[in-house]
Amino acid sequence: MIFLAIRYLLERKRQTLLTLLGVFFGTLAFVAVSGFFKGFQGFLVQQLVNNAAQVHIEIRQDYLSDHVLDVPFFSNDLVHAFWNPPPAGVKGYLDIQNPQAWYNRLNADPRVEAYSPTMTAAALFNVGLISVAANLIGCNPNQQAKVTTIADYMIAGKFTDIAFGGNRVILGDELMKRLGAGMQQNILVSVGTNSAVPFKVVGRFYTGSRGLDLQAFAALNDVQRVNKTPNYVNEIGVRLKSYLDADALARSWAHLGPERVESWGDQNLNIQSVFAIQNALRLSMIMTVLIVAGFGIYNILNMTVNQKRQDIAILRALGYDTFDVVMLFFAQGMIVGVCGTVLGLGSGYLFCRWLQSLSFMLATPSNPQGHLHISLDWVIYVQATGLALLSAAIASVLPARAAGKLTPIDIIRQGG
């Protein structure tokens, strides 16, 4: 039957080509649009996953609510308490209570690749008469470089230069510009009401994000000393062997101490909801294209069944059964579907490669040429194949079944 199905298709070249183009463009659109959206999402996820820790163990600081002191003061029997003024403020700790327990736990967990304890302090940076407020992050640079990609963004000096201690600091590009500071220059850093301490600028980084570039890094001990909080750590950043484990690990670790534990996903829920909307839009748009392609196949096959009633009659008289007749028309739809899908996948791949070579985005340190991020994930190609073939199969089976139900005698009596 395949032989005859191919002959039918070749005999109606223009109709076959038009139907095939429907599947072709549907598949191509699927690959290209999915590649674009998934590439964009992947780029953002990689930025979030790589640039910062994947799990954050942070100090917990809860705001006091109006009735948080009702029970401690008046027991459970109280109907309602009126506070004037109501309780306000923050309840919590300034540092991680038992960092050593966390270090032991993280060292023992095989899913953890690296971790980095940090002490972040709100500092005032001074150069002459210029003062700029910014975060000063104290860390062990060797550990921090394993947890984040900050070392890759250095444009002057090395991130590990702060490891030697002695009040060395690495400034973000934006902070450096605002201070008007230069390399190897001494600047003054003060935290809270503590007196200013001189730091030597030994490095400069540029991430492209103004918020991040308005930060400074120094050795953990130096920051603890400036802040007058020796041995304090207010965050432990964790890098995992697989970032996909982050949500589950954060949930299980959250019960192990008073600290707040969040995954990179928890901290970027808004972005994930945007991704969900993007995916819904992408799939609905592409499904529409493929349904239209399916209607093309359905219409052409329906017309063919009507035009080939005499052939159906004689095939049945020659001994071809219902299954053969169904296959004759189903095969036509599927041949068009398979050819359109294969061509669409190939062209979609080439189109994606071409898009990858275009410079649409602003150049960043991680993407100096500003190329578009297009995903070539094999899952896209499997999904495109599955949906295109499913669309072709559904569109083919209906007219094919109708053809299979035709009896030779009815066709002959109706004069073909």
Q: What residue ranges bind other proteins (CB under 8 A)?
A: 3-4, 7-8, 10-11, 310-311, 313-322, 324, 408-409, 412, 416
Using an 8 Å Cβ cutoff, are 8 and 308 in contact?
yes
- 227 vs 304, which CB is nearer to other proteins? 304
Q: How far apart are CA 140 and CA 235, in angstroms?
A: 12
* 3 state SS of 255: coil
Least separation in angstroms between residue 25's CB and other proteins is 27
Contacts of 153 (CB under 8 A, 6+ apart): 205, 206, 207, 365
- 213 vs 311, which CB is nearer to other proteins? 311
- 288 vs 307, which CB is nearer to other proteins? 307
- 235 vs 311, which CB is nearer to other proteins? 311
DSSP 8-class letter at 371? B
Is the Cα dihedral 242, 244, 248, 253 positive or negative? Answer: positive
Least separation in angstroms between residue 352's CB and other proteins is 38
* Residues β-bridged to residue 204: 156, 171
Using an 8 Å Cβ cutoff, are 266 and 247 in contact?
yes
Least separation in angstroms between residue 323's CB and other proteins is 9
- 204 vs 316, which CB is nearer to other proteins? 316
Cα-flanking dihedrals φ and ψ of residue 98, to 5°? -135, 70
Least separation in angstroms between residue 412's CB and other proteins is 7
> Comparing C-alpha atoms, which of 209, 246, 215 is closest to residue 49?
246
Using an 8 Å Cβ cutoff, are 352 and 31 in contact?
yes
Least separation in angstroms between residue 331's CB and other proteins is 14
Using an 8 Å Cβ cutoff, are 275 and 41 in contact?
yes
Residue with tokens 């299979």: 404
Q: How far apart are CA 100 and CA 113, in angstroms?
A: 17
The tokens for 390 are 């499913």
Q: How many residues does the chain have?
A: 416
Least separation in angstroms between residue 15's CB and other proteins is 13
Least separation in angstroms between residue 395's CB and other proteins is 22
Enumerate the H helices of 148-219 as residue ranges: 173-179
- 104 vs 307, which CB is nearer to other proteins? 307
The tokens for 16 are 């076959």
Using an 8 Å Cβ cutoff, are 137 and 118 in contact?
yes
Furthest CA-CA distance within the chain: 106
From residue 395, alpha-carbon distances to 200, 202, 270, 288, 294 in Å are: 72, 67, 39, 14, 5
- 10 vs 129, which CB is nearer to other proteins? 10
Least separation in angstroms between residue 18's CB and other proteins is 19
Least separation in angstroms between residue 4's CB and other proteins is 7
Q: Tell me how many degrees the CA angle 204-210-211 measures, rounded to the nearest 5.
A: 100
Contacts of 119 (CB under 8 A, 6+ apart): 95, 137, 138, 139, 220, 223, 224, 227, 229, 232, 233, 234, 235
Burial class (CB in 10 A: 0-12, 13-18, 19+), 105: middle
- 313 vs 403, which CB is nearer to other proteins? 313
Least separation in angstroms between residue 19's CB and other proteins is 17
- 179 vs 312, which CB is nearer to other proteins? 312
Least separation in angstroms between residue 298's CB and other proteins is 21
Contacts of 226 (CB under 8 A, 6+ apart): 121, 123, 136, 189, 190, 191, 194, 197
